[in-house]
Amino acid sequence: MRLYNSLTRQVEEVRPADRRTVRMYSCGPTVYRYAHVGNMRTFMLGDVIRRALRFEGQDVLWVMNITDVGHMTDDVGEEARDRMDIAVADEGLAPMEIARKYTEAFLEDADAIGIERADVYPKATEHIQEMLELTRTLLDKGHAYEVDGNVYFDVRSFAGYGRLSGNTLEKLRPGHRQLEADPNKRHHADFALWKRAGANRLMKWESPWGQGFPGWHIECSAMSMKYLGDRFDIHTGGADLKFPHHEDELAQSDAATGHPVVGIWVYGGFLQFSGQKMAKSRGNITRVSEIAEQGADPLAFRLVCFGTRYRSEMDFSWEALEAADRRLTMLRQRMAEWAPAERDGLSPEAKELDHRFREAVADDLDMPSALVVLGETVSAGIADGDKYGLLASWDAVTGFDLERLARERSEPPEDVQALIEERDEARRVRAFARSDEIRARLIEMGWEVMDTADGTKVRPRIIRPREASEP
């Protein structure tokens, strides 16, 4: 498995630091609002990396944080507002009620698009003590300073500042992103580890420097190292987090430990909607729940995403989603038609297809090429059982739930089973008109009906492409 490391600007093999388990940290949601599909594409990156590594037989420990405090709109003054405070003012709910509401919504959306649950979801509010301890370590080592209840990281104390994003101190000027002038700072690029709480602030904690709250960046350093140790293998996030969030996180983590903490930094590209970046301020937000409301399977969003390399910008459109939904339905129908076969190994042709799929996935998650192999397999001149076996195996990475219809074929739902039993009874008492009515009803529900010596049998009705295109 090879991934592009944004720190070294090259593709590198993933090698667990402890030679056993790949340990990965992903920046998770800020739970003061709903996540949109652009956010979800970023969160899917960690899921696909874990799936791909497990596909190779590698153990993985995945941690994704929940930011329920500390994501400030700016870094200046006592009145610096946390986004959670803004949500409280907007919705009239207590901070923890807001965090719970949007955390649950995020997890539901993640489930819908096949993002398997992370191993740990640490919440910022439950790790204030770890943040305070890390801040104290940075103060003791001379990498931070305190001014009137505020603690800042001294960027000039860390020689490598700017290596991840390219925003070195020589290039940064006041006014760049969140680098507004602050008389408390020794350098305009210094960033807050801990902020003194203003009189109107809701979320605040006691600290050695008075009542206050953590900066945004300190939470990820504290929680990642608590659960993964001070040397772990992969850190993922969206491209917009590279600076200042991850640049600051890298600086404080490495300064505290005295050595590099993260092996490979991996970033997902932006998702655009009809050529524009998806953002709340633009009013072009689309949620996962809207996909289902439009009648499409949310897993079709995975298929759309895999058509573009994860590091590249991706353009989202409803037309692309609808096409992916149709393709996903076709693949499931073909799987139900093929059915698994009892075979002793794959044919040489099937093995070659499997090799090509695995190589594509291992090559920095080249999912577009992997989908090409999948498409070739569907039409390949190999046994149906081999096709089923390959696609079922690859689904561990793609997460399309391709065996859904095949499962339903063997296990009709309760309402269908009740109709089958009623039809068999009608046939037994020679009530053929009723039997025909039930048969028509089953066909209308999407089932193929077969009369056998053992009674009525059904299987999902396979819709061929030509039939599906008919009016």
Compute the mean pLDDT over every residue in the chain, rounded to the nearest whole number. 90
> Rounded to the nearest 5°, which phi and psi values hold at 62?
-120, 125
Q: Which helix (H) or strand (E) holds 24?
A: strand 21-26
Residues 6+ apart with CB under 8 A from 61: 21, 22, 23, 24, 119, 227, 228
Q: Which amino acid is at 100?
A: R
Q: What is the pLDDT of residue 338?
A: 87
Q: For residue 131, which of 144, 119, 118, 142 has the smallest C-alpha distance?
A: 144
- Angle, CA 323 vertex, CA 320 and CA 328 arms, to 5°: 120
The candidate with the shortest Cα–Cα distance to 153, out of 171, 135, 179, 166, is 135
* Chain segment 382-408, per-residue pLDDT in tens: 999 999 999 999 999 999 999 998 887
How much is the average pLDDT of 18-29? 97
Question: For residue 318, what pLDDT is reported?
Answer: 93
Q: Which residue has the higher pLDDT, 70 or 203?
A: 203
* Count of all residues that appear for the chain in the document: 471
pLDDT of residue 184: 87
Residue of 309, 251, 256, 316 whose CA lies nearest to 286: 316
pLDDT value for 465:
34
Per CATH, the architecture of 2-268 is what?
3-Layer(aba) Sandwich (3.40)
pLDDT tens-digit readout, 304-352: 999 999 999 999 999 999 999 999 999 999 998 887 766 668 899 999 9
Q: What pLDDT score was predicted for residue 459?
A: 72
Token pair for residue 456? 């009525």
Q: What is the pLDDT of residue 174?
A: 63
- pTM of the predicted structure, to 2 decimals: 0.85
Q: Residue 80: phi, psi to the nearest 5? A: -55, 125
What distances in angstroms separate CA 192 from CA 213, 222, 320, 467, one per listed residue? 10, 14, 43, 62
Distance CA 110, CA 298 (A): 10
**Mean pLDDT within 279-303:** 89
pLDDT at position 182: 77
Which residue intervals of the chain bear CATH 3.40.50.620?
2-268
Give the tens place of pLDDT for each residue, 219-244: 999 999 999 999 999 999 999 999 99
Cis check for the bond before 244: say yes or no (omega within 30 of 0). yes
Question: In the prediction, which pLDDT does 171 show?
Answer: 86
What is the band of 70 on the pLDDT scale with cuts at 50, 70, 90? low
pLDDT digits (tens, 9 = 90+) for 79-100: 456 666 777 777 878 888 999 9
> Does the pLDDT at position 466 exceed 50?
no
CB-based contact 439:449 (threshold 8 Å): yes
Confidence of residue 245 (pLDDT cuts 50, 70, 90): very high
